[in-house]
Amino acid sequence: MTIIIESRVIVFASINDIAAQNIKNQLIRNHNFKMEYSSGIKVYRNKNIEALIVEIPVDSIYAEKLEDKFKAELFIFASRHSAESRIPALLSHTPGNWTEDTSLGGESRKIAIASPKALKIAVNEMEKLTRENNLSEYKVGLEVTHHGPYVENTPTIFIELGSVEENWRDERAAYIVSEAIMKVIESRFKMKCNEYKVAIGLGGPHYAPTFTRKILETEYAIGHIIPEYVYDKITERELEMAIKRNDEEVNYVLIEWKGLKRNHREMTIRYLEEKGRKWIKI
């Protein structure tokens, strides 16, 4: 394997993604990213913060084997979010598949390494900027861990703009996402290990409102979230994977009590207590 391009942080933007291109343009316009060619690949570099923007020719969720060409401390995907609800949304999450289903990219029962602090910073920054810029129509929050791509060794997050084309083209919203990306990049080099309570979340629905409130209102930084809807198809292996696949040690397991069926709670608690893991009912 030969690494072609290296930077402390790499932001990926699909050329097929209207929202990603909108976000990329905001970053270039406002943050001194300059186009250059590296090993024949067009990139945008900000030397002051050791960050790159890389355009990719496939949809982000199918961008497999990135580590064959790129090396970084953190991968960030600027991406569209799609939803039948059509609710305007600014969201962040880690990619990965809890089950065998790989219809949205990635590998079966494999998850990327989460960065709880990066997720917390991204969501908090988007929440702050939606208030400051009078974009209250946009819902801000976490999503559970879902879809591809699978990234083995590099912490990876998505920061998304949704949920329909009108939103993807909204330069005001793209600006907010771009500023959240910059906040994550800049904060990554300043964060202290004891700054937050690092946790994972178990239970609840896809848009994780309970865990979103936790990262907005408390000291918790939450990495992987396993939703209730996959619990019938997971085992203790996935629980341990959720704890282990974070870029910092997880000291807390938050269980959304009403967001799990009784048998799922019992399986979870039995496993956590066998392993001596601290869990908290929320």
Do 213 and 155 reside in the same domain of the chain?
Answer: no
- What is the rounded distance in angstroms from the CA atom of residue 264 to the CA atom of residue 238? 13
Structural domain containing residue 55 = 5-188
**Digit-coded pLDDT (tens) for 266-282:** 999 999 999 999 999 99
Do 184 and 214 reside in the same domain of the chain?
Answer: no
Q: Among 160, 188, 216, which residue terminates a domain?
A: 188
Do 131 and 201 reside in the same domain of the chain?
Answer: no
Do 174 and 215 reside in the same domain of the chain?
Answer: no
User: Which CATH number belongs to the domain containing residue 174 in this structure?
Assistant: 3.40.630.50
In the numeric block, the tokens 């619990």 are attached to 231
Cβ neighbours of 181 (radius 10 Å): 29
- Residue 252: phi and psi, rounded to 5, are -135, 140
Do 170 and 246 reside in the same domain of the chain?
Answer: no
Do 14 and 48 reside in the same domain of the chain?
Answer: yes
Q: Looking at residues 171-195, what average pLDDT do you find?
A: 88
**Digit-coded pLDDT (tens) for 139-157:** 999 999 999 999 999 999 9
pTM for this entry = 0.96
**Digit-coded pLDDT (tens) for 209-248:** 999 999 999 999 999 999 999 999 999 999 999 999 999 9
User: Which CATH number belongs to the domain containing residue 221 in this structure?
Assistant: 3.40.50.10700
Do 72 and 154 reside in the same domain of the chain?
Answer: yes
For 113-127, 179-193, 230-244, which range has the lowest pLDDT when averaged over its residues? 179-193
Percent of the chain with pLDDT over 70: 98
Do 113 and 215 reside in the same domain of the chain?
Answer: no
Do 156 and 203 reside in the same domain of the chain?
Answer: no
In the numeric block, the tokens 């932001």 are attached to 11
The alpha carbon of 257 is separated from its chain's Cα centroid by a whole number of angstroms, namely 24
Q: Among 145, 168, 188, which residue terminates a domain?
A: 188
For 94-103, 194-203, 249-258, 268-277, which range has the lowest pLDDT when averaged over its residues? 194-203
Do 184 and 201 reside in the same domain of the chain?
Answer: no
Do 132 and 152 reside in the same domain of the chain?
Answer: yes
Domain count, the chain: 2
Burial of 85 (0-12, 13-18, 19+ CB in 10 A): exposed
Instruction: Give residues with Cβ within 8 angstroms of 233, minimum separation 6.
Output: 98, 99, 100
Do 13 and 49 reside in the same domain of the chain?
Answer: yes
Q: Among 188, 220, 240, which residue terminates a domain?
A: 188
Q: With beta carbons less than 8 A apart as the criterion, state whether 42 and 101 touch.
A: no
pLDDT beyond 90 at 40: no
**Residue 272 falls in which region: left (phi positive, over 0), alpha (psi -120 to 50) or beta:** alpha
